[in-house]
Amino acid sequence: MNSASEPLVLRAAWLLDGSGGDAVGDAALWVEDGRIVWAGPAAVLPEQAADLRSLDLPGCTLLPGMVDTHVHLVASAGPELAADIPKTEAERVLAAVANARRHLDQGVTLVRDLGAPAGEAIALARAVEARTVEGPRIVAAGPAITMTGGHIPYLGRVTDGVEGMRAAVRANLQLGARCIKVVATGGVLTPGLDPSKAAYTQPELDALVDEAHRLGLRVAAHAIGGDGVVAALRAGVDSVEHGMILDQAGVEQLGASDARYTPTFCAAEGIIEGPSAPAWIKQRARPAGAALVASFGAAVAAGARVAAGTDAGTPDNPHGRVAQEAAFMVKAGLDPRSAIRALTAEAADLLDEPDRGQLRPGAVADVLAVGGDPLTDITALQHPAAVFQAGHRVR
């Protein structure tokens, strides 16, 4: 694949630019050199574009390539996450390559990998950027930072103490991480500490966030419920992952903060409703699953900024399903415009990728065409008709 793409005009029934506004009807999108030149109603397409090669997508909606802000590329949705991670680094990289392709096939052009044993997703991010492997653009955290006795040690760097936190952030920086993942509460998939109990102390979280931000890295906090959510927000994390059992303090803090809230409906659904997860995991997940819709509704009502992430790779939660995450959000009461914004502009902004997630002049031409109108039927997002990455058609 060469890096320059031929100029192209896409024509479709509707266009949603990702900002959360109204659809443009009878739309055109002019793409050149991998970037968007112009987007709007076909009737006022600039004259210079009239003779360019064009592709008609009748009955389709154009929107930005979707973003999944929470995936584990080394994991493949098997019954138990710990056993599902391949034992050698070589096998983990191969799993990640296959899983990355699944995202792209479904119209997901940008993902954030929030935990791998070592530098697997970081290496894959570089290979995608160099165009040696096909996949979505990847913003990788490297190993998740988790305490002794904490959640997902097998995807993480076990770290304790204030000074340990700063050292762990620096070690991930050295590995090539573009963001930091910290495990701030217990988890559903790991026995031991309760998912609504805080893992780290406030001084530990404060030190981690301070060090990460000082070095230009954003922080995602695994925080299912209780004091851990509040402590993570107080420390200044950039996103709360899961947040399934929010108490009043958590709701208020999320509403008042600029941090994004990533409810990971797909993860809860896969574990609780799927056939695979063992009974002990289902049992740990049930209280979180039962509280999730109410937590989400309260956070949205309080003004929380929502981003779409699936936690792909966890039990019965295969890669490439972020469109389904948007459908879960709508089912839980979010309006479709906001759900689409949560998996495009809002998500790209969280990942510090301002050139992506919106169809506007100058943005990278990561474009998805889906059959139908997702504002009337959000499940239209699950039926990609064409996927473009930096102007190249990849599906």
Note the residues at the interface with Zn ion (CB under 5 A). Answer: 311
- The distance of closest approach from Cβ of residue 203 to Zn ion in the complex, given in angstroms and rounded to an integer, is 25
Nearer to Zn ion, 241 or 373 (CB): 241
- The distance of closest approach from Cβ of residue 321 to Zn ion in the complex, given in angstroms and rounded to an integer, is 14
Backbone φ and ψ for 169, nearest 5 degrees, come out as -60, -40
C-alpha 328/C-alpha 261 separation (Å) is 14
| Segment (H or E) for 283 | helix 279-301
Nearer to Zn ion, 119 or 156 (CB): 156
Nearer to Zn ion, 9 or 141 (CB): 141
Nearer to Zn ion, 5 or 172 (CB): 172
Contact 190, 180 (CB under 8 A): no
Q: Which two tokens stand for residue 64?
A: 């930005």
Nearer to Zn ion, 63 or 168 (CB): 168
- The distance of closest approach from Cβ of residue 297 to Zn ion in the complex, given in angstroms and rounded to an integer, is 23
- C-alpha count within 13 angstroms, C-beta hemisphere, residue 323: 25
Name the closest residue to Zn ion (Cβ).
Answer: 311
C-alpha 395/C-alpha 383 separation (Å) is 12
Q: Which two tokens stand for residue 309?
A: 């992430």
- The distance of closest approach from Cβ of residue 32 to Zn ion in the complex, given in angstroms and rounded to an integer, is 37
Which ranges of the chain would DSSP assign to H, the alpha helix? 81-84, 89-105, 120-129, 162-175, 202-214, 227-235, 248-256, 265-273, 279-301, 322-331, 336-342, 345-350
Contacts of 214 (CB under 8 A, 6+ apart): none
Contacts of 20 (CB under 8 A, 6+ apart): 337, 338, 340, 341, 345
Nearer to Zn ion, 311 or 349 (CB): 311
- The distance of closest approach from Cβ of residue 242 to Zn ion in the complex, given in angstroms and rounded to an integer, is 8
- The distance of closest approach from Cβ of residue 40 to Zn ion in the complex, given in angstroms and rounded to an integer, is 38
Q: Beta 54-64 vs 66-71: how paired, if at all?
A: unpaired
